Amino acid sequence: MLLVEITPERYDVVVDLAYAGNNNFTGKPVYRRNACYLRPEAEAQLVRAAALAGEHGLRLKILDAFRPTEAQWALWNHTPDPEFLADPRKGSPHSRGVAVDLTLVDGEGCELDMGTAFDAFTPLSHHGNTAVPKEAQRNRYLLLGIMVSAGWDCYLMEWWHYQMFSPRSYPLISDRALPLPMMA
């Protein structure tokens, strides 16, 4: 299989995919299952990032990872905003299994303040935005440092989005490629 399943037990991460529930910008589930997948190359970088977060007494909370091409179309059809969503005709790094949306949680499982919610389609979500509180800026820089040190590239418009370098060198993947479909 092209993808590796990322589970909390094996990777010491929290998996809470926003699109598997109602708490996302569409207001309804896009995925039928809260199943997290990445390509093996991305999985190796996630392992490094989780270890680095652990050195600070923190854990990664994964909000999205592999996103089937069918899901990318569903998101785009709801909100066709090219600043925050990849046009599915070009393809998203998520739909290639080489991107992850995430945040940091403390030892109690509480999310660190990042200044905006996940998928807040606003300039306040941009890396380096100094209009968010200082604590949120520090938390974003900590997440950025962890992820970049683990080999990830960032997307400057979203503090939560990280991807492998040269994501378009990987093919798009459909929900049909999974042993058990994710889509609702």
Q: Token pair of 10, please? A: 């094996």
Q: How far is CA 120 from its chain centroid? A: 13
Contact 53, 45 (CB under 8 A): no
In the chain, the number of structural domains is: 1
- Considering the domain boundaries, does residue 57 fall inside one? yes
Contact 94, 65 (CB under 8 A): yes
Question: What's the confidence (pLDDT) of residue 2?
Answer: 87
Question: What's the confidence (pLDDT) of residue 22?
Answer: 94
Question: What's the confidence (pLDDT) of residue 180?
Answer: 92
Question: What's the confidence (pLDDT) of residue 1?
Answer: 62
Dump pLDDT digits (tens) for 84-127: 899 999 999 999 999 999 999 999 999 999 999 999 999 999 99
Q: Determine the structural domain holding residue 167 and report its residue range.
A: 4-177
Q: What are the beta bridge partners of residue 102?
A: 62
- Considering the domain boundaries, does residue 112 fall inside one? yes
Instruction: Name the pTM for this structure.
Output: 0.96
- Please give the Cα distance from 70 to 84 (Å, whole number): 17
- Considering the domain boundaries, does residue 151 fall inside one? yes
Q: What are the beta bridge partners of residue 4?
A: 38
- Please give the Cα distance from 141 to 161 (Å, whole number): 13
Q: Which residues of the chain have pLDDT under 70?
A: 1, 184
Instruction: State the CATH number of the domain containing residue 76.
Output: 3.30.1380.10
Torsion of CA 77, 83, 89, 90, to 10 degrees: -160
Question: What's the confidence (pLDDT) of residue 184?
Answer: 62
Which are the catalytic amino acids? 158
- Considering the domain boundaries, does residue 183 fall inside one? no
Altogether, the residues listed in the chain come to a count of 184
